[in-house]
C-alpha cells in the first residue's frame, strides 16, 4: 500500500506531521507513506517520509493578510497541483489523502484533479477540518456547497473529527453517511517544559485572531466586567491578526488593559504564553474542530469554551457551567467572573482533561485512519 498525505497549501503543518509520523510507525514494512506539503518555517521536518512541495511565499509575507500574499499563495497552490500530478503519474499512489481542497472557495478546478485521480483508479480520502472556509461570506456558501457536492462523487472516503461535523456533512453537502468516518483529532503535545507557576489570574486567547474566532467578544466581555474583577485579572490576545480587524478594536483593548500581540508567535513563544496562563479562552462563533484546543489540552490548563456543538463534543464530560453562550459577550463576562470568584469546580475540569488526553491519542487516530485506507482499497477486491 502506497499512501500520500497531501496538504497542497500547507495550512496545517503540525497536524500533517503527527498524522504522517503516526501512520509511518504503524504501517507494514512493504507499505509506504509520504507527506506532500510546502515546507513550513515554524515546523521544520527532516523525516525521510517528507517530500516538500514548492514554497514561494517569502518569510516577510507569512504574517501578512493582503492581496499580494493571496495572489502569491494562489500561484503556489496551482504550481504545486501541477507538480503533484506529475508525481502521481510517476509514483502511482494507492491512496491520496487530501487535508484541504484550498481552491474550492474560488473555483472548481480541483474537481478536474479529482477526476484524473479517479480515472487512474487511485483511492481518494479527504479530511474535512471545517465545513466552510473561515470568515467565508454567506452569499458565497451556496456556490461552495455546489462545488463540494460535485467533489463528493469523486472521493472514496471522508474523514471528520466530530459527530457534529458528520451531521453537518450530511446536511450541507449531501454526503452519504456510509462514506463518512469520524476520526478524533489527536492532541498536540507540548515540546518544552516551562515554569507553570502563575502569580495572577491570566486569561489568554491564542492563535490566529478574527471575527469568527470571537476575538472581539473577549474584548467586549472584559469591558462588561466590574472594576473590582478587572483589577484582579490580566487578559492577553496573542497571535496573527488582520490589520483591519486589529485597528478596529485595538484602542478599546488598550483602554481595558488588554495585552494584544498581533504577530505570529514562534513555537517557543506560543508554548510560553499557554504555560504561563491560568485560563485559555475559546470564544469562537463557529468551528468544526480547533487545533488550538487540541494543543491546549496537553498543558492541563482551565479551558473556557463557547457552547458550540464541536466544543461540547470534544470536551465531553465538561459540565454545563463550564461553557458560555456563543456570540454573547455578556455570557463570557459572567463565566470569567465565576472563575475569578471560585464558583466553578476547577479540579473537576482537570480530572476530565486528564481523561481526554488519553482519549485523543495520535496512536488511536492513526490506527483508525489506516483501517480506512485498507477498507477503501479492499472495496474493489
Q: What does 64-78 look like in DSSP terms, one character per residue? A: --SHHHHHHHHHHHH
pLDDT confidence of residue 67: 65
Per residue of the chain (381 residues), give pLDDT as tens.
999 999 998 888 889 999 999 999 999 889 999 999 998 866 778 889 999 998 876 666 555 556 666 777 778 899 999 999 999 888 889 999 999 999 998 889 999 999 999 998 999 999 999 888 877 788 888 999 999 999 999 999 999 999 999 999 998 888 999 999 999 999 888 765 655 556 679 999 998 899 989 999 999 999 999 999 999 999 999 998 988 999 999 999 999 999 999 988 877 888 888 888 999 999 999 888 888 898 889 888 899 999 999 899 999 999 999 999 999 999 999 999 999 999 999 999 999 999 998 888 899 999 999 999 999 998 876
| Torsion sign, CA atoms 196, 197, 203, 204 | negative
In angstroms, rounded to a whole number, what is the distance separating the alpha carbons of residues 72 and 76?
6
Domains of the chain, CATH where assigned? 2-186+361-378 (3.40.50.2000), 201-359 (3.40.50.2000)
CA distances to 10, 216, 301, 309, 319 from 346, rounded to whole Å, are: 37, 26, 10, 22, 11
φ/ψ (deg, to 5) at 120: -85, 5
In angstroms, rounded to a whole number, what is the distance separating the alpha carbons of residues 226 and 222?
9
pLDDT confidence of residue 135: 73
pTM confidence score: 0.82
Q: Is 158 left (phi over 0), alpha (psi -120 to 50) or beta?
A: beta
In angstroms, rounded to a whole number, what is the distance separating the alpha carbons of residues 203 and 258?
10
Bridge partners, 37 (sequence order): 52
pLDDT confidence of residue 357: 87
3-state SS assignment for residue 201: strand
Quick check: 364 and 184 in contact, CB under 8 A? Answer: yes
In angstroms, rounded to a whole number, what is the distance separating the alpha carbons of residues 220 and 330?
8
Amino acid at each position: 500500500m502506497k499512501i500520500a498525505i497531501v496538504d497542497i497549501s500547507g495550512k496545517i503543518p503540525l497536524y500533517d506531521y503527527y498524522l504522517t509520523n503516526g501512520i509511518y510507525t504503524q504501517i507494514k514494512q512493504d507499505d509506504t507513506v509520504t507527506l506532500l506539503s510546502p515546507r513550513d518555517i515554524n515546523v521544520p521536518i527532516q523525516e525521510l517520509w517528507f517530500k516538500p512541495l514548492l514554497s514561494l511565499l517569502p518569510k516577510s509575507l507569512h504574517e501578512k493578510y493582503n492581496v499580494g500574499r493571496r495572489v502569491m499563495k494562489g500561484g503556489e497552490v496551482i504550481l504545486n497541483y501541477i507538480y503533484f500530478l506529475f508525481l502521481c503519474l510517476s509514483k502511482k499512489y494507492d491512496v491520496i489523502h487530501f487535508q484541504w481542497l484550498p481552491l474550492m472557495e474560488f473555483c472548481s478546478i480541483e474537481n478536474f484533479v479529482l477526476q484524473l485521480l479517479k480515472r487512474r483508479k487511485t483511492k481518494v480520502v479527504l479530511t474535512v477540518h471545517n465545513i466552510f472556509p473561515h470568515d467565508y461570506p454567506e452569499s458565497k456558501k451556496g456556490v461552495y456547497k455546489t462545488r463540494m457536492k460535485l467533489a463528493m462523487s469523486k472521493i472514496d472516503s471522508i474523514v471528520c473529527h466530530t459527530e457534529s461535523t458528520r451531521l453537518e456533512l450530511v446536511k450541507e453537502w449531501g454526503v452519504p453517511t456510509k462514506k463518512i468516518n469520524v476520526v478524533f483529532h489527536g492532541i498536540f503535545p507540548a515540546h518544552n517544559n516551562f515554569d507553570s507557576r502563575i502569580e495572577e489570574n491570566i486569561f489568554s486567547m491564542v492563535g490566529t485572531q478574527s471575527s469568527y474566532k470571537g476575538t472581539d467578544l473577549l474584548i467586549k466581555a472584559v469591558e462588561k466586567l466590574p472594576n473590582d474583577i478587572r483589577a484582579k485579572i490580566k487578559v492577553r490576545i496573542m497571535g496573527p491578526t488582520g490589520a483591519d480587524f486589529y485597528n478596529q478594536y485595538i484602542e478599546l483593548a488598550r483602554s481595558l488593559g488588554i495585552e494584544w500581540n498581533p504577530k505570529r508567535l514562534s513555537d517557543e513563544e506560543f508554548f510560553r504564553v499557554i504555560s504561563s496562563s491560568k485560563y485559555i479562552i475559546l470564544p469562537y462563533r463557529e468551528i468544526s474542530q480547533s487545533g488550538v484546543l487540541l494543543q491546549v489540552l496537553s498543558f492541563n490548563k482551565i479551558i473556557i469554551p463557547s457552547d458550540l456543538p464541536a466544543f461540547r463534543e470534544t470536551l465531553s464530560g465538561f459540565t454545563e457551567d463550564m461553557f458560555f453562550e456563543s456570540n454573547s459577550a455578556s455570557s463570557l463576562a459572567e463565566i470569567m467572573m465565576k472563575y475569578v470568584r471560585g464558583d466553578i469546580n476547577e479540579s473537576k475540569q482537570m480530572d476530565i482533561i486528564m481523561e481526554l488526553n488519553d482519549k485523543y491519542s495520535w496512536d488511536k487516530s492513526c490506527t483508525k485512519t489506516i483501517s480506512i485506507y485498507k477498507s477503501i482499497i479492499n472495496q474493489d477486491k
